[in-house]
């Protein structure tokens, strides 16, 4: 499943909250054999347009293989016509491998392109 357009900042909080509910707060999820975040990492992907710290969040919580950059063209929230400068700013200092994953390789894998 791919969440397109809602961004990723909220997901780090949600995953921590869901795992905490299962582990510490005593909520019972009888059909789950693993932490909720484990299911997320195996099944969910996210897109973002212009968010700071996206690669750090991906490495710390979301999974670098779970995030994909999107221009969202032609919608008003789009980074177009400044998409390339936006990507350069967001991914400044990021490894080439992470940049490739976020900009195209994850999408190619998820959608069999």
Quick: pLDDT tens for 9-52.
Answer: 899 999 999 999 888 887 777 888 899 999 999 999 999 999 98
List the domain range (segments joined by +) for residue 38: 2-110
Q: What is the pLDDT of residue 24?
A: 82
Question: Is residue 55 packed enough to be buried (19+ CB in 10 Å), middle (13-18) or exposed (0-12)?
Answer: buried
Q: Write down the mean pLDDT value for the chain.
A: 91
Number of domains, the chain:
1
CB 52 within 8 A of CB 7: no
Prediction pTM value: 0.86
- Residue 84 CA to residue 39 CA, distance in Å, equals 33
Instruction: Say if residue 6's pLDDT is above 90.
Output: no
CA-nearest of 22, 78, 74, 26 to 49 is: 78
Largest Cα separation within the chain, whole Å, is: 49
- Residue 21 CA to residue 24 CA, distance in Å, equals 6
List the Cα angle 54/64/27 in 5-degree steps. Answer: 90
First vs last C-alpha separation in the chain: 16
Q: What is the pLDDT of residue 97?
A: 97
């Amino acid at each position: 499943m791919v969440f397109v357009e809602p961004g990723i900042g909220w997901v780090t909080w949600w995953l921590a909250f869901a795992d905490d509910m299962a582990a510490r707060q005593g909520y019972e999820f009888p059909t789950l054999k693993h932490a909720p975040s484990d299911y997320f990492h195996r099944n969910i992907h996210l897109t973002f347009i212009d968010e700071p710290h996206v690669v750090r969040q991906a490495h710390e919580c979301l999974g670098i293989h779970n995030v994909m950059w999107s221009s969202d063209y032609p919608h008003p929230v789009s980074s177009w016509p400044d998409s390339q400068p936006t990507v350069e700013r967001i991914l400044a200092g990021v490894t080439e491998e992470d940049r490739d994953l976020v900009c195209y390789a994850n999408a190619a894998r998820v959608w069999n392109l």
